[in-house]
Amino acid sequence: MTLARELGKRFLSLAVVLFLVTLFTALLISMVPGDPVDTLVPLAESEEADALKAQVREDLNLDEPLHVRYASWLRDFVFGDERGEHFGDYFRVSGRDPVSNRLAEALPVSLQLMVYSQVLALVVAIPLGVLTAYRAGSLFDKVTNTGAFALMAVPTFVLGLALAYYIGVWLNWVPPSGYVPFGEDPVEHVRRMVLPSLTLAAGQIAVYMRLLRSDMVATLQEDFIQMARSKGISDQRVLWRHALRPSSLTLLTVAGMNVGTLIGGAVVVEVIFSIPGMGTAISQAIFERQYVALQSFVAVLAILYVVVNFAVDILYAVVDPRIRHARARN
Amino acid sequence: MTAPTESETLLEVTDLRTRFRTPAGTVRAVDGVSLTLDRGRTLGIVGESGSGKSVLSRSIMGLLPKRNVTCEGSIVYDGREISSLPPAERRKLWGADMAMVFQDPMTALNPVIRIGRQITEGLRFHLGLDRRTANENALALLRSVGIPEPERRMKQYPHELSGGMRQRIMIAVALACGPKLLFADEPTTALDVTVQAQILNLLARQQRERNMAMVLVTHDLGVVAGRADDIAVMYAGQIVEKAPTATLFANVRMPYTEALLASIPKLDEPRRTRLKAIPGRPPSLIDPPPGCRFAPRCPYAQERCHREAPPLRESEPGHVYRCWYPVGVEPRRDGAADRTDTPTPTGAR
Amino acid sequence: MPEPATDDPVATDAEPAAGTPAETEAPTEPTTVDALVEEVEAAPTRKLGVLGWVSIVWLVGITLAALLASWLPLPDPDRSYLEIVRVGPVQPGHLLGGDGNGRDMLSRVIFGARTSLWISVGAVGLGSVVGGVLGLVAGYFRGRVDTVVSMLFNVLLSIPALVLALSLVAVFASAEQDVSDTRKTNVIILALAIVTVPLIGRIARASTLSWSEREFVRAAEVLGASHLRIMVREVLPNVLPAMASIALLGIAVAIVAEGSLALLGVGVRDVPSWGNMIADGRSDLARAPHIVAVPSIATFLTVMALNYLGDVVRARFDVREGGL
C-alpha cells in the first residue's frame, strides 16, 4: 500500500542525509587550513614526530583524493580499522590513544543528562500546558505564560551559572559540580545531576508548555470536546483522555527536533557543571586540537540526532491514527 | 418505565437568557425564551444560522463555557430546578438524563480514540459497568442504531467510517446511558441527502422505543415537519412563533415563519434554495433594533414594527407568535389598507 | 473541512462517503457558539503594546550605544583601575563597578554589545540572504531544485547547531597558534550564518510555496514577467514578514550561541563580548557575582526583546510553521 512507499521514501531520505552528514564530518579535517598533519600532531620537530606525522598522513589518506578519503573513513568508522578501532585515535606525546575509550565513557553520561532533562521538561511542561489551556485567560495562565516567556530568554549558560552558584555554592543544597556514576552511588548520582538536568530542562519547559497550551486551547474548541463533555464525564477526564493526545502532535515534533538544541545545550551544561560527557569531550578535543576525535564525536552526535528525528517521525503514526491513512505532511 | 407519580412535563424553561461577553460587546444569543416539553414528545426548534437555536439547547443542557458567558432564567427538569445547580451536579445529568447529538459527525467524534471506548466511556462512568458488560451494551447499541459488523467497528477509529456511519455512532454514544431527553443539534445538516432521512428515521424510532423526549434543532422546516409534535421558530435569540406542528402549518401567523415555509424545497426542485429566499441578514445580537427584530427584512413591516417590540401573543390554545400584523388575520386592524398597497414579494405568497 | 472518509466497502447502508456536493453546500450551523467563544478565548491579537515599545527602545538604545561606543564618555574598556577590582555597582565614575582585572564594567558591557551584536546580526544577515535566496528559488521552481535545496537544509539541520558552529570555528579559527580576533570574528559569523541558513531557508521555502500559488503570481506569469522579476517583485515582499520573524528569533539565538562559544573557549578573546565577559567572570562568581550578572542581564534583556518582537511579527503576519 502507500504506507510501504511512504516508509521507503523516508528510509531513502534517511540514507541520503546520513551520507551527507558523514561526508561533512569525514572531510572536517581536510578543511583545516594549512597542512592538517601539523595541526593534528602538535609535537616539536623530532624524528619520532616526523615518523608519527608520516604515519598519520598515510592512515588518514591525506594525500589521496577526497572520495578515497571519505570511503576509507567510512569503512573504518563502520567496520573498524586494522586494529579494530572505529573512531580513530588521539595523538599524544605518549603515542596513540583510541577515541573509542573516551566515547564509551562520555556518550552514556551525555545521554543520561539529556534523558533526565527531557523527562523533567515533559513532566513539568505537560501539566502546566494542560492547566493553563484549561484556565486560559486566568491569572494563573498569565503568570505562568509570562514566566515561561522570560525563561526562554535566559541563556543556558547564565541559568547554569546562576543555579550552580546560588543553589550549589550559596545554599549548598547539592554539589555544584562533578559527576558520580549511578552504579557507584545512586543517591549521589541524582544529587549531582539535579542542577544540570534542571538547567537543560528549563528552556524546554517554557517552549513545550507554550506549544502545548496553544494547541490545547485550539483542541478545546473542537466539537469532539463538547461531545465528550456532554457525556457527563469529569473535566479532568476530558482534558487528559480526550484533549491531550490530539494536542500533542506539535509538542512531539518539536521535542524531536529539539534533540539538536538539547545536544548543544548539553555541551554547555556539561562544561559548566564539569560532567564528563560528550560536551566536555568535544571541548577538550578542540582545546587539544584533536580533530580526529572531534570528527568522530561530531559524527556520532549527528547520526544520533538524525536517527532520533527519524524515530519521532515514525512515532507520529502511533499518536495520531489519522496519519496512518493520510499523511498530510509536505 | 414511567413512575406513576411523574408529571407529564419533563422540561420547563422560563425566560432563559444567555449572553456572551465578547470584545465587540455583549451578545444576547438567547433573549427570554420559554418553552415546555412533555415526556416522549418532540420539539422542533427552527431558525437561521445565528438565531440562537444551538446556543439555546446548549444553555438548557448547561454545556456552554463558564467564562464570559452568563445564563439566566429557570430550567426545571423532571420537577427539579437545574439552572442553579453547581457544575458538578449539573454534569451528572449529562449523558445519563440528557444527551446531545452534534451536527457534524466528522468533527464531533474524537479522532484518536477507538469507537468502542467512546461509547463505553459514558456507560462505565455513569452506570459503573465493568469493561465486559459495557462492551456488551455498546455492541447492542451499535446493532440497534443499524451499524453492521459492530464487533469490528468497536476497534475502529472514526476516520475509518463514512459520515452517516459516524452519525449513527454519535447517536449510539448519546443513547448509551438511556437519557430521557435528547438534544439533536442539526443532526443531518452535515450529511449527504440520501442519508438524512435514514438518520431522522433512526432518531424517531429510538425515541419511540425509549419514550424519550427530543429537541430537534434545525434550520430546515422540512426536517421537523413530519417529525415534531410542536415547532418553535427562533429569530434573533427569541421564539417568534410556537405551535403544535399541524396548527403551525395550517395557520402561520408570523411573516418570518411564512418566509421559512416558502423556502422549503419542493421535491422536484434542487434542494438548496432554503433560507436564501429571505432577503437581508439577521440583526446584530449585540445591539438589536428596538422594534420587531424581523422588521428590517419583513415585507409587511409598518412604522410601528420598527418602533415597538411586539409581545408574544396567543391566537389559539398553544399557538403563540410575536407580530403586530400577523399573517392570515383579516382584516388587519390598522394595516389592511397598507398591505394591499405593498407589492406582494415574490416567493412569499 | 471534512477529510475524505475512507468509506467502508462492507457498509450495508447504501450511503456514499461524506464529501459530496450536497454536504459542502449545507450551512454549518453551530458557528454561533464556537465562533463567539473562540473570539474570546483566542490569544489576543498581538499589537505592539507597551512591552513591544519597551523592547524597541531597549534594542535601539543598546544598538546606538554599541555603534557610538568609541565616542561616548566611557573609560577605556581594557584599562585596569586598581580601586574597582571586583567592586560591584554603584561606584563614582564607574557606574557598574569593575571586573576581575579592575576594568570598567559599563564600558565593557557597551563595547561587548558591539561585538555580540555585530556577530549575531552579521551572522543572521548573511544566513538570511543565503537562506532566503535558496528558499525562494526552491519554493518557486519546485521539482528537482527543491529536492536538492531541501536536502541541503535537512543535512545542515541534521548536525546540532552548536556542535556544527563549534567544529567549524575550531577547524577554521584555531589552526594556527595565534588567530587574530578579526579572523575569529569572521569565522564565528560564518559558522553561525551556516547554522542560520536552513532555519531561514525552510521558512522562506514554505512561505514561497504557498504564495507562488496565488492568483497575482499566476497572473504575472501569464503576462510574461520573468521568473526573477516575479520572485523579487511579487513573491519576496510576501515572504519577508515570515523571514523577519524568524530572523529576529535567530539573532537572539546567535547572541546566546556567541556566549556559548565563548564559554567553551573558542570565542573572541581580545575585545570584550558579552559571552567572554560571562566566561571570564565565572571564576569570580562567588566573590563578585556582578561580573557575570551585568552581561547576563544585558543578554537576557536583548534576547527577550528580540523574542517578543519576533512573536509580534509572527502573530501579525500569521506565520505558520515557526519551528526553530
The amino acid at B15: D
Do A142 and A202 share a domain, yes or no?
Answer: yes
Q: Determine the average pLDDT of the residues in A55-77.
A: 85
In a domain, residue A315? The reply is: yes
Using a CB-CB cut-off of 8 Å, the residues of chain C touching B220 are: none
pLDDT-derived band at A109 (thresholds 50, 70, 90) equals very high
* Domain that residue A71 falls in: 22-98
- Same-domain pairing of A45 and A141: no
pLDDT band at B344 (very low <50, low <70, confident <90, very high): very low
- Is any Cβ of chain C less than 8 angstroms from the Cβ of B102? yes
A79 and A159 within one domain: no
Angle between helices C105-141 and C274-281 (to 10 degrees): 130
The reply to whether A92 and A158 lie within a common domain is no
Q: Are residues A195 and A305 in the same domain?
A: yes
pLDDT at B267: 55
Strand partners, B101: B184
Q: What is the pLDDT of residue C165?
A: 87
B194 touching chain C per CB within 8 A:
yes
pLDDT score at C178: 62
Instruction: Give the pairing of strands A89-92 and A95-98.
Output: antiparallel
Q: What is the pLDDT of residue B342?
A: 40
Q: Side chain identity at A221, as an amino acid letter?
A: Q
Express each pLDDT in B223-233 by its tens digit.
Answer: 888 889 999 99
pLDDT at residue number C322: 36
**How does pLDDT run across B172-206, given as a tens digit for each residue?**
999 999 899 999 988 888 788 888 888 888 999 99
How confident is the model over B154-166, as a mean pLDDT?
Answer: 89
Residue A223 belongs to domain with CATH number: 1.10.3720.10
For the segment B82-109, the average pLDDT, to the nearest whole number, is 89
B69 bridge partner residues: B20
| Residue A278: all three cell numbers together | 560528550
- A166 & A217 share domain: yes
Kindly determine whether residue B108 and residue A223, on different chains, have CB atoms separated by under 8 Å: yes
Does residue A33 or residue B311 have the better pLDDT? B311
CA distance B27 to chain C (A): 9
Report the candidate in C59, C111, C122 with the shortest Cα–Cα distance to residue C302: C59
Provide the CA B185 distance to its chain's centre, in angstroms. Answer: 6
Helix segments in B41-181, DSSP class H: 53-61, 87-93, 115-127, 131-144, 150-154, 163-175
Residues of chain C with pLDDT under 70: 1-47, 174-179, 318-324
Using 50, 70 and 90 to split pLDDT, how confident is the model at A278? very high
| B235 touches A at CB < 8 Å | no
Considering the domain architecture, whether residues A33 and A155 belong to the same structural domain is answered as no
Count how many pairs of residues, chain A against chain C, have C-beta atoms within 8 Å. 163
Chain B residues lying within 8 Å of A237, measured CB to CB: 125
A122 belongs to a structural domain:
yes
Chain A contact present for C1, CB below 8 A:
no
The domain boundary residue, chosen from A98, A120, A146? A98
Strand ranges, E, within B245-309: none
Is A302's CB within 8 Å of C304's CB?
no
Count of CA atoms in the C-beta half-sphere (13 A) of A298 = 32
Chain-chain contact of C41 with A272 (C-beta, under 8 angstroms): no
Query: Between the CA of residue B62 and those of B65, B70, B125, B135, what are the distances in Å?
Result: 8, 11, 19, 29
Mark residue B52 as left, alpha or beta (left: phi above 0; alpha: psi -120 to 50; beta: remaining): left
> What pLDDT is attached to residue A3?
66
Query: What number is the average pLDDT over the span A151-178?
Result: 86
In a domain, A309, yes or no: yes
Domain C-terminal end among A70, A98, A126: A98
pLDDT of residue C12: 35
**Is A7 part of any domain?**
no
Q: What is the mean pLDDT of residues A274-297?
A: 88
Is residue A14 one of the residues assigned to a domain?
A: no
> Is residue B331 predicted with pLDDT exceeding 50?
no
A179 and A319 in a common domain: yes
pLDDT tens per residue across span A3-20: 677 778 778 888 888 888
Q: Are residues A108 and A78 in the same domain?
A: no
Q: Among A33, A68, A98, which residue terminates a domain?
A: A98
A10 located within any domain: no
Cβ of C26 and B189 within 8 Å? yes
Provide the domain count of chain A. 2
Q: Element (H or E) spanning A279, and its range?
A: helix A278-287
The pLDDT of residue B124 is above 60: yes
In this prediction, residue B77 carries a pLDDT of: 93
Cβ contact, residue pair B94, A232, below 8 Å: yes
Say whether both A130 and A33 belong to one domain: no
| Statement to judge: residues A107 and A247 lie in one domain | yes
Site from B22, B60, B92, B110 to mutate, A interface, most A CB atoms within 10 angstroms: B110
Of chain B, the end-to-end C-alpha distance in Å amounts to: 47
Assess whether the previous peptide bond of C54 is cis (omega < 30° from 0). no
Note whether residue A125 is domain-resident: yes
DSSP 3-state of C136: helix
Question: Are residues A113 and A211 both part of a single domain?
Answer: yes
Share of chain C above pLDDT 70, in %: 81
Among the residue ranges A81-90, B34-43, C55-64, C246-255, the one predicted with the least confidence is A81-90
Interface contact flag, A153 C252, Cβ < 8 Å: yes
* Global confidence as pTM: 0.80
In a domain, A1, yes or no: no
Alpha carbon distance C170, C193 (integer Å): 15
Residues of A whose CB is below 8 A from C37: 221
Residue B270 predicted with pLDDT over 60: no
How do residues C96-155 score in pLDDT, each as one tens digit? 888 888 889 999 999 999 999 999 999 999 999 999 999 999 999 988 999 889 888 888
Which residues in chain C have their CB less than 8 angstroms from residue A289's CB? 174
